[in-house]
Amino acid sequence: MTDLVIVRDADSIRTVRMNRPDKKNALTAPMYRAMARAIDTAAGDGIRCIVILGAPGAFCAGNDLHEFLAAAKAGMLDGDVVTFLHALARSPVPLVAGVQGDAVGIGTTLLLHCDYVVAGTDARFSTPFVRLGLVPEAGSSLLAPRLMGHRRAFAALVMGHGLDTAAALACGLVNVAVARDQVDARAIAAANEIVALPPEAVAASRRLMRGPVEHIVARIDEEVSLFGERLRSGEARAAFEAFVNRKR
């Protein structure tokens, strides 16, 4: 495992912590691989709940900028990203997340696969895909409307309207809001509550509530295909050029 992702197991709970605070936990290919592996192997390792955490002030700033620009030049998403998205969708183990600070792009859309989300009062959620000439990813075009309704999902995924913690609570993206220094402990407490339940009943109930996993995976794959097309589009190239120029 890369030290940019810290994986620890205790009491049937696996904690997966993104650990690149100097870059606000922007995800690189090795980080995607490490997180996918941690999720894929959990059930076989006797893990009954996975908790995904970030760093103080930054849950996840989305994809690493340099790798994202490389993807734009290549006109396709990196395979490690897709592997991670499939791992999220196929996980038979309940997923809990604890969010502090910024959750951008995949930092927000990965939460749609989680069963319980704790957010700090400082959390901010944003999905600026369309502003970059792209389309939503991670199955969010299916899961977000299902969770929050078409209009709220359209405002977030297409119009790029950000959400603070109160708005995320109101639309169902977040279960509970706490002080930012209590996020990790509250997420672990939720995981312990899940682990204390009869595991077969949890698994069966979760399968019923989520519906066919293949529908989610199919939507992820459709989004990936369109994402690649959009990366090669004139709109996306102009948006990326403007974005890079702003960064200089």
* Half-sphere exposure for 213 (CA within 13 Å, toward CB): 12
pLDDT in tens, 88-139: 999 999 999 999 999 999 999 999 999 999 999 999 999 999 998 999 999 9
* Residues facing residue 101 across a β-bridge: 58
- Give the separation between CA 106 and CA 84, rounded to whole angstroms: 11
Using DSSP bridges, classify how beta strands 176-178 and 116-120 pair: parallel, antiparallel or unpaired. Answer: parallel
**pLDDT in the model for residue 9:** 97
Query: Among candidates 56, 49, 47, 50, which has minimal Cα distance to 19?
Result: 56
Contact 10, 191 (CB under 8 A): no
**pLDDT in the model for residue 248:** 56
**pLDDT in the model for residue 188:** 98
pTM above 0.75, yes or no: yes
Query: Among candidates 84, 15, 2, which has minimal Cα distance to 48?
Result: 15
CATH T-level assignment (fold) for domain 5-181: 2-enoyl-CoA Hydratase; Chain A, domain 1 (3.90.226)
Residues of the chain with pLDDT under 50: 1
**pLDDT in the model for residue 247:** 59
- Give the separation between CA 100 and CA 209, rounded to whole angstroms: 27
